[in-house]
A and B are shown apart, each in its own frame.
Chain A
Amino acid sequence: MTRPLVRPPRKNPILRTRVPNLPPGSRSRVALGLTAAAARGRLELQTCRDCGTVQYPPREACRVCLSQRLEWKVQNGTGELLSETILHHSNELFYRERMPWRLGIVRLDCGPVVVAHLHGDCVRPPSRVRVHANIDRAGQAALVAMPEKDTPNMADDRQLREMTCDPKFRKVLITDAKSPVGQSLVEAIVKAGADLVWAGYAEPWKKPPGFEKLSSLPQVTLVSLDLTDSRAVKNLAGEIGGRVDILINTADHHRNYGITAREGIEVARAEMDINYFGLLRLAQEFAPAMRARGADGQSSAVAWVNLLSIFALSNFPPHGTYSASKAAALSLAQCLRAEFAPAGVRVINVFPGPIDDEWNQALPPPKIAPSRVAADIVETLRGSAEDVFPGDVAEDWLARWRDNPKVLERELAAMR
């Protein structure tokens, strides 16, 4: 049974901070299909459309009938642990620094036999396990065999924690703690065991209901932060940047206009200033220190979360300029993900459907509750995905977008 994680001792300042090393990260183009599914928190394996064989590792053709008609299909990952190995030596720097390392061979119920990282609570073989596809520090899919049933403190497993971004005992900056999602998130992150939450707020003279009570939580420190103010972002990074393990950018400027519904560009500019340039300012000031701390002990810098919108995928014309700003932010987040990759810091993009707040007042339900968005963010940090689509609307739009982006564009154009 996993021993519960204890708060790490304070860092010894005379020791060099370890440089992040990554597990092997190169994959063939076809193998990246596994990563694409893992990025959404799913295990998908190639399935032959002709003979039905499920295969692993990914290949160009079916290993049984040589058909190229292969399709990635979601698998539940259940299977039997056939054998285990404890690794005491590796030439891979990442594993060398983390010995011993437990591996196992699992026969999946859907057919293939796979080598997987073995959670500490998996019973000795033969035993039943569930295989997940996690995103490892290299940003690639890695198969992890989990115990058949949840065990106490499962998330605290040493090996698993190398693949998750669990907020427990970590220090978290939430850039806008005033918004409904921001407020819910501060509470959720505190509940998830964060050591310290910096709760950012702009325009201190505007006090939304509920905000004051956040500061009564002992883990919460309010910090003045306005993403439109480059110097303020720089100053805060100078103050706390070297300690932020998880940064969650909740700052969001949302108005509901298309192009002709409002004269001028002021609204669009304000949206871009926070949603796009705000992210850029934050990334320029906070990313360097986080990159340097990708392997800084048990509570290293691990994740950067962007609160985007499902409108980032395809423009929702009634909220047209907002959609454009979120699309810009998505593009920049991809750049950030690439720049964070060598440090093993995960960039998580969150694409909620319309949130039940003042700027979506005129949209009909279903609308997602701010607390649900917060819960999904915490769940993602504890788990392993990098793209999250909270709420039914987001899931539905995503499915339609994946099916045919042009059809979705036409459908959205017809919405008023």
Chain B
Amino acid sequence: MGNAVLSELIAALAGGRIRVVDLTQTLSPDFPQIVLPPEMGQAWPFRIEEASRYDARGPGWYWNNFSCSEHTGTHFDAPIHWISGRHLPDNSTDTIPAKSFIAPACVIDCSREAAADADFLLTVECLRQWERRHGRIPAGSWILMRTDWSKRTDPVAYQNLDETGQHTPGPDTEAVNFLVDERQVLGFGSEAIGTDAGQAFHFKPPYPCHYYMHGSGRFGLQCLTNLDLLPPAGAVVIAAPLKIKDGSGSPLRVLALVPSADSIAKSKEHGKKNSNRTRTVVGQKR
């Protein structure tokens, strides 16, 4: 039977009944990194050095060495990332059970609210409203907060810093507790640079999404893109971090499998030539 499911999946991918949407930003030196006060330890931005390019350093081949933080670009947060999750079992990128890396996704569209208010906070009421339309949030699913923040291709607008810090949307404390305790979600995903709102340092507790999600063994996904190409419910997300020993997180390629019935309208917009076989939506270049 398992065989049949997988064969069916492959056939659906080949036939275009299931599309693959890339939720990943391109790893580039221009993509901004998390900002912390300068006296603190810093996350490395993505940097790349050429080792050879068909030249004297290596005549027949091209390759690079790169460096970055575990939390650079589109990345995964493991529970060990936060102090609240430090003593949990299987809390790092090398020990999290691999089956957690494939899960359904609920996409909460907050794009209009975030456009009106950069400090917009996702509330329990927003989540209940979503459930009234799409049914109860299934346990073990990703909650992806769509804000269209990834469409801010100018790094200055993406970071959105002023003298009082960063202004980006995220969940409020009650919404996080609701998702963790009452819906048993797998994790929380965001288009902005953190799963928490830009001003979440001033919340109680500071950074509630990190504190409670990781404190109860849940995960985070940050710097996602193309969430506007996902249906509110029904997509499956594949998000497998690099198997870093004791890793607190990892840049990764996040893919979504999307049943095409839910996106016929969008497929038409994007032209027929893209609809055969799998369609990979390339992350926006910054």
Contacts and interface: CB of A to CB of B under 8 A. Distances in A.
- Note whether A and B form a binding pair: yes
Given A204-B156, A205-B155, A206-B161, A231 B42 contact: no
Interface stretch (B1-9, B45-53, B107-115): B45-53
Given A204-B155, A205-B159, A266-B41, A228 B47 contact: yes
A252 B89 CA distance: 43
A226 B28 CA distance: 13
Interface string B8-40: 000000000000000000000110100100010
Interface residues of B, number: 17
Most buried by B among A204, A205, A229: A205
Q: Interface majority SS on A: helix, strand, loop or mixed? A: loop
Interface residues of A, number: 15
Contact of A229 (B35, B47, B155): B47
Given A205-B155, A205-B161, A206-B161, A226 B32 contact: no
A21 to B, nearest CB: 30
Interface string B150-161: 000001101101
A232 B155 contact: no
A159 interface: no
Nearest to A232: B29
Contacts of B47: 228-230
Nearest to A273: B47
Contacts of B161: 205-207
Contacts of A378: none
Contacts of A328: none
A143 to B, nearest CB: 45
B29 A270 contact: no
B29 A205 contact: no
Interface string A203-219: 11111000000000000
A363 B161 CA distance: 30
Contacts of A228: 45, 47
Contact of A266 (B42, B49, B159): B42
Most buried by B among A203, A255, A266: A203
Given A205-B161, A266-B42, A270-B42, A230 B156 contact: no
Interface in A250-266: 255, 264, 266
B182 to A, nearest CB: 37
Contact of A231 (B29, B45, B159): B29
Interface string A180-214: 00000000000000000000000111110000000
A226 B42 contact: no
A86 to B, nearest CB: 51
Given A205-B159, A231-B48, A266-B41, A226 B35 contact: no
B32 to A, nearest CB: 6
A207 B157 CA distance: 13
Contacts of A206: 35, 161
Nearest to A202: B45
Contacts of B42: 266, 270
Contacts of A255: 39
A230 B156 CA distance: 21
B156 A205 contact: yes
B153 to A, nearest CB: 13
B48 A205 contact: no
A205 B35 contact: yes
B49 A230 contact: yes
Shortest 7 CB-CB distances between A and B: which pairs?
A205-B159, A229-B29, A205-B156, A204-B156, A205-B161, A230-B49, A266-B41
17 contacts: A204-B156, A205-B35, A205-B158, A205-B159, A205-B161, A206-B35, A206-B161, A226-B29, A229-B29, A229-B45, A229-B47, A230-B47, A230-B50, A231-B48, A232-B29, A264-B41, A270-B42
Given A203-B32, A205-B32, A232-B30, 14 more contacts: A204-B155, A204-B156, A205-B35, A205-B158, A205-B159, A205-B161, A206-B35, A206-B161, A207-B161, A226-B29, A228-B45, A228-B47, A230-B50, A232-B29
